[in-house]
Structure 1
Amino acid sequence: MRTYVVKILGLVCFFISYMAASQTCLPDFDADLTVDEFVDNADGTVTDESLGLVWMRCSLGQIWENETCTGDANELTWQQALQAAHGYEYAGQLGWRVPNIKELASLTERSCVRPAINELFFPNTYSDDYWTSTPSIVDPKRAWVIAFFNSSNSLKDKNLFVFTRLVKTAD
């Protein structure tokens, strides 16, 4: 009897963790309707033509291969993220930077959570905080982050380790 209960509890825990780890969207959300938002550049980047921005499809540290982001993303302090972006070359391009809060917020998909982003264009995005280049104007020790768990934003201590996605202005 005890073994049976342990097995049932194990299955319940598995399904709860699976459900918590997968993206959930409102019933009327249709990812295909948002395809026009970005142009796939076929090199691990997408262009948001309306904003004139080119985005890395993967988080910093992940690798774009076989049409998805693989590997583990890097967690960096705010200063490390800014330094990593400086001179960074990706897809044969320079000019990458940490996005400001408005730019990064433009990637959020408010119809979805865990992660709150269009996974068609940004697969395997962590449901966690991502740095922006926008510092706090009231506390020099903090900077703004966007939480791709639920599209929220908040101030975080610059010494915390947080994920990063880079952007550049389209040529």
Structure 2
Amino acid sequence: MQIKLLIATFLFSSVAFAQQCASDTSVPLSTPDERFIVNEDGTVCDTKTDIMWQRCTFGFVFNAETGSCDNKEQQLNWQQALTAANNSRLGGHDDWQVPNVKELATIVERSCEDPAINATVFLGNHSGNYWTSTTYAKDISRAWTYQFADGLNDRSSSKTSDAFVRLMRYTFCPQSEK
């Protein structure tokens, strides 16, 4: 089963990576597949948090026909990320936002690294920094980022530096039928 998941992840992701996940099945997944509803419009609905996410890292465009991310991801500075969220109309919705630090933490897969995310549900992933909307309290010229190599948010980044983005919005997610 795990080999099939790894093969599917590689085949349906437009970015090749060397994701490693714990093989100890006694460690529960923090973001199991059945928690998410994958939509054909390039969004994913988290039934635990009622957050809808972009399936692909910002800049990529989800291709429903191939189940992959096309084009190229973009790294943006913090202000550009906020503007991109405001301008996004993904899935016909106009209320996209950059997640705060707690919201982004909900999609970190604690049993995986490089990247620390469910690579079956979320595509076009990177191990680098992803923006949050949370300003660093000790220095307002900085904001918290999550580094998806290991899923830690132990750093803030200058708001003028570039990082990846995954947009989110609140919605009602019906319970998965899986």
Identify the TM-score tier after normalising by the shorter chain: 0.7 to 0.9
Distance in 1 (CA, whole Å) between partners of 2:139 and 2:124 is: 32
Bigger fraction of residues in helix: 1
Matched, 1:167 2:165: no
**C-alpha distance in structure 2 between counterparts of 1:102 and 1:115, whole Å:** 18
Provide runs of 4+ in structure 1 moved above 2 Å: 28-31
2:18 equivalent to 1:22: yes
Question: What percent of counterpart residues are identical?
Answer: 38
From 36, 40, 56, the equivalent of 1:42 is 40
Please report how far the alpha carbon of residue 63 of structure 1 lies from its aligned counterpart in structure 2 after TM superposition: 1.1
Q: Deviations 1:125-146 (Å, cap 9, x if unpaired)?
A: 0111000000011101100000
Q: Which of the two has higher C-alpha Rg? A: 1
Higher relative contact order (CA 8 A, sep 6+): 2
Give the match for residue 97 of structure 1: 97
- Give, as a single letter, the amino acid of the residue that structure 2 aligns with 1:158: K
Kindly provide the amino acid, as one letter, of the partner of residue 159 in structure 2. K
Count of aligned residue pairs for this structure pair: 151
Matches of 2:99 and 2:171 in 1, distance apart? 13
Give me the whole-angstrom Cα distance separating, in 1, the residues matched to 2:104 and 2:71. 22
Aligned to 1:147: 147
CA-based RMSD of the aligned residues comes to 1.8
Long gaps (5+) in structure 1? 1-19
SS at match of 1:137: coil
TM-superposed CA distance for 1:44, in Å, is 0.9
Q: TM-score, normalised by structure 1?
A: 0.83
**Residue 110 (structure 2) pairs with residue 110 (structure 1):** yes
SS in 1 for 2:92: coil
- Gaps of at least 5 residues in structure 2 are 1-15, 173-178
